[in-house]
């Protein structure tokens, strides 16, 4: 139990009034950063990084990692209240979180999101505490083929279960891939589909797309629907937290599965965004009874992505510390910070800077507890925002969206883009095309493409590389199975005879894809 004593030493390092104050400031800043779309955890940490150079490294990392936790918590708030994911990993939270808010259950959704985030993070921290040396080596097994297999699995776990026609899902996804292809191709170094526009050099950033598709699109739809948020009639329930907590234990299987998915994706390092999508897809796939309730305000649909995103976000710090590979953009900025403070992330960090490492791990425990308490006490406050009349809140949301879009690249072009994406989102809703496949393809399309092409370069064009060792083979086979599952289950039903109706066939369209 060497780790336990080291951990307690870490707590001793963290528990000074100065460090606790920094922790509190960090969490609050993080929540604000998470709420404002466009700012993002990575930007937030990058902006504040220079402020910390005059502090001792341990205090600095405590504050910065607390900003990171705060941003992870905060991302869920706008997703649930306004259908605007402030971070890529909160996109999946909107699928069920926003319908819940519309039904007047915003407080329930927020409580579930925060609590799940906390559980995900806690499990990941415990894993970091005890398994760090064992697990760290695992990330090294991941080459381009393995990365592609994981990305393929994410797509597969998400595709084979569309509510609408599979052709609409594919059309939406292809549009996402096309948008992801704009900009510089990293493999050949050539510009693609920029049509001579300087603004398109960067490609379409995820945030600009989701702010438009989800945020602006939703406002357009609400305007048509009579200028009212349907959640406005909700009563304020001060005991919402306790009420929701009573329901949560029912979903223990989903929680465990999401923790596993999250930890795995954080270590490998696949990242929080694929983790949240994959976890949502799997929760729906393995749900008991009617899968239709997903996307219409199902509590489980909030728990799954939030648990996984937080577990992944937290365990992403492990490869950063032990190998010097950042598992997320924010971790990459933190990594830069470590070097400036004179610490060298890598295999020797745990040996040479024990105090620092265990102080950081202890701050993960405390930071998450402090974060949870702060955000939970604010749940009624956040939910009350929906009681503000739509005519007041809609312009505010528009302004925040515009600022968020502008912040991404400091470009006014992006503000016009969110308006166009808003119209696209509105049309998609009207024609009942699903938006999530488009967003998923936009987020992961680039990564999947470059991993695939890197793998093809390594294997000199042979796809056998995806079954060249047990690790990549298992992930790839799982992906193929998930992808073909609708076909397989259809065949099974046929073989059993027409007595059993196929549940997928009765799915109905949903107004808020």
Partner 1 sequence: MQNLKRKKSLLRAAAGAVSAAALLAASFMPSHAAWEPAKPVTLVVPAGTGGGADQMARFIQGVVAKHNLMSQPLIVINKAGGAGAEGFLDIKSSKGDPHKIVITLSNLFTTPLGTGTPFNWKEMTPVQMLALDQFVLWVNAESPYKTAQEYIAAVKGGTDRQFKMGGTGSKQEDQIITAAMERLTDGKKFTYIPFKGGGDVATQLVGKHIDSSVNNPIEAVAQWRGGALRPLCIFDAKRSTYTEKVTDTTAWSDIPTCKESGADVEYQMLRGIFMPGDVTAEQVAFYNDLFAKLMATPDWKDFMAKGAFNQTTMSGPDYRSWVEKNEKLHQDLMQEAGFLAKTN
- The residues in 410-429 that bind partner 1, with binding defined as CB under 8 A, are 410
Length of the chain: 513
Distance CA 306, CA 291 (A): 19
- The residues in 249-308 that bind partner 1, with binding defined as CB under 8 A, are none
Tell me if 407 sits within 8 A of 38, measured CB to CB: yes
Which tokens is 361 given?
A: 């791990």
325 binds partner 1 (CB under 8 A): yes
347 binds partner 1 (CB under 8 A): yes
42 binds partner 1 (CB under 8 A): yes
462 binds partner 1 (CB under 8 A): no
How many beta carbons lie within 10 A of that of residue 46, not counting itself? 18
Distance CA 321, CA 356 (A): 11
Minimum distance from residue 350 beta carbon to partner 1 (Å): 11
Minimum distance from residue 317 beta carbon to partner 1 (Å): 14
37 binds partner 1 (CB under 8 A): no
45/211 with CB nearer partner 1: 45
236 φ, ψ to 5°?
-80, 120
Distance CA 44, CA 38 (A): 10
HEC states along 166-192?
A: HHHHHHHHHHHHHHHCCEECCCCCCEE
181 binds partner 1 (CB under 8 A): no
203 binds partner 1 (CB under 8 A): yes
For partner 1, the binding residue among 21, 340, 388, 463 (CB under 8 A) is 340
Tell me if 107 sits within 8 A of 379, measured CB to CB: yes
For partner 1, the binding residue among 198, 238, 289, 501 (CB under 8 A) is 198
Minimum distance from residue 194 beta carbon to partner 1 (Å): 8
342 binds partner 1 (CB under 8 A): yes
Nearest alpha-carbon partner for 116 in 279, 271, 281, 304:
304
Size of the site for partner 1 (CB under 8 A): 52
The widest CA-to-CA distance across the chain, in whole angstroms, is 73
Contact segment (CB under 8 A) with partner 1 among 43-51, 287-295, 360-368, 390-398 equals: 43-51
461 binds partner 1 (CB under 8 A): no
For partner 1, the binding residue among 265, 304, 318, 335 (CB under 8 A) is 335
Nearest alpha-carbon partner for 400 in 82, 109, 25, 113:
82
How many secondary structure helices (H) and strands (E) does the chain include? 23, 2
Residue 494 burial (10 A CB sphere; 0-12, 13-18, 19+): exposed
467 binds partner 1 (CB under 8 A): no
407 binds partner 1 (CB under 8 A): no
Using the Cα atoms of residue 466, residue 472, residue 474 and residue 478 in order, give the sign of their dihedral: negative
Residue 339 burial (10 A CB sphere; 0-12, 13-18, 19+): exposed
For partner 1, the binding residue among 5, 18, 133, 141 (CB under 8 A) is 141
Tell me if 325 sits within 8 A of 319, measured CB to CB: yes
How many beta carbons lie within 10 A of that of residue 309, not counting itself? 39
Contact segment (CB under 8 A) with partner 1 among 97-105, 328-336, 396-404, 426-434 equals: 328-336
Minimum distance from residue 156 beta carbon to partner 1 (Å): 23
Distance CA 374, CA 249 (A): 22
56 binds partner 1 (CB under 8 A): no
For partner 1, the binding residue among 185, 355, 502, 507 (CB under 8 A) is 185
Contact segment (CB under 8 A) with partner 1 among 11-19, 170-178, 344-352, 415-423 equals: 344-352
447 sits in which H/E element: helix 436-459
345 binds partner 1 (CB under 8 A): yes
46 binds partner 1 (CB under 8 A): yes
Distance CA 442, CA 300 (A): 25
Contact segment (CB under 8 A) with partner 1 among 189-197, 368-376, 435-443, 487-495 equals: 189-197
Contact segment (CB under 8 A) with partner 1 among 23-31, 160-168, 297-305, 329-337 equals: 329-337
List residues near partner 1 by CB under 8 A.
42, 46, 49-51, 53-54, 139-144, 183-191, 194, 198, 201-203, 323-326, 329, 332-333, 335-337, 339-340, 342, 344-348, 409-410, 450, 454, 457-458, 460
């Amino acid at each position: 139990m060497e780790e336990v004593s080291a951990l307690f030493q870490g707590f001793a390092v963290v528990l000074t009034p100065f460090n606790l104050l920094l922790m509190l400031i960090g969490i609050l800043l993080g929540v604000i950063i998470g709420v404002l779309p466009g700012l993002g955890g990575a930007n937030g940490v990058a902006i504040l990084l220079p402020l910390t150079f005059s502090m001792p490294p341990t205090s600095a990392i405590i504050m910065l990692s607390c900003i990171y936790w705060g941003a992870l918590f905060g991302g869920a708030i706008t997703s649930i209240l306004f259908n605007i994911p402030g971070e890529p990993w909160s996109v999946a939270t909107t699928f069920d979180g926003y319908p819940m808010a519309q039904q007047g259950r915003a407080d329930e959704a927020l409580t579930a999101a925060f609590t799940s985030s906390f559980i995900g993070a806690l499990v990941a921290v415990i894993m970091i505490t005890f398994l760090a040396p064992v697990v760290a080596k695992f990330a090294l097994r991941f080459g381009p083929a393995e990365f592609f297999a994981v990305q393929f699995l994410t797509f597969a776990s998400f595709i084979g279960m569309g509510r609408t026609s599979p052709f609409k899902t594919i059309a939406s996804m292809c549009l996402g891939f096309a948008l992801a292809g704009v900009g510089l191709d990293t493999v050949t170094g050539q510009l693609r589909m920029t049509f001579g526009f300087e603004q398109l050099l960067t490609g379409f950033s995820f945030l600009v797309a989701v702010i438009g598709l989800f945020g602006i699109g939703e406002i357009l739809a609400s305007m048509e629907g009579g200028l009212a948020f349907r959640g406005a009639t909700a009563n304020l329930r001060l005991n919402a937290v306790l009420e929701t907590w009573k329901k949560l234990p029912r979903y223990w299987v989903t929680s465990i599965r999401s923790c596993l998915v999250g930890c795995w994706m954080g270590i490998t390092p696949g990242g929080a965004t694929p983790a949240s999508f994959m976890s949502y897809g799997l929760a729906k796939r393995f749900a008991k009874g009617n899968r239709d309730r997903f996307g219409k305000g199902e509590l489980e649909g909030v728990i799954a992505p939030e648990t996984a995103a937080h577990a992944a976000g937290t365990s992403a710090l492990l490869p950063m510390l032990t190998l010097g590979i950042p598992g997320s953009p924010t971790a990459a900025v933190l990594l830069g910070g470590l070097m400036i403070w004179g610490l060298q992330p890598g295999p020797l960090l745990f040996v040479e800077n024990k105090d620092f490492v265990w102080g950081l791990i202890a701050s993960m425990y405390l930071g998450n507890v402090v974060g949870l308490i702060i955000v939970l006490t604010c749940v009624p406050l956040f939910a009350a925002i929906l009681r503000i009349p739509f005519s007041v809140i809609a312009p505010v949301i528009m302004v925040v969206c515009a600022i968020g879009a502008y912040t991404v690249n400091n470009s006014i072009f992006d503000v016009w883009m969110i308006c166009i994406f808003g119209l696209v989102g509105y049309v998609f809703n009207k024609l009942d095309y699903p938006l999530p496949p488009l967003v998923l393809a936009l987020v992961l399309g680039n990564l999947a493409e470059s991993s695939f092409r890197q793998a093809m370069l390594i294997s000199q064009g042979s796809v056998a590389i995806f079954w060249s060792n047990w690790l990549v083979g298992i992930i790839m086979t799982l992906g193929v199975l998930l992808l073909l599952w609708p076909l397989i289950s259809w065949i099974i039903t046929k073989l059993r005879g027409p007595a059993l109706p196929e549940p997928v066939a009765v799915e109905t369209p949903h107004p808020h894809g």
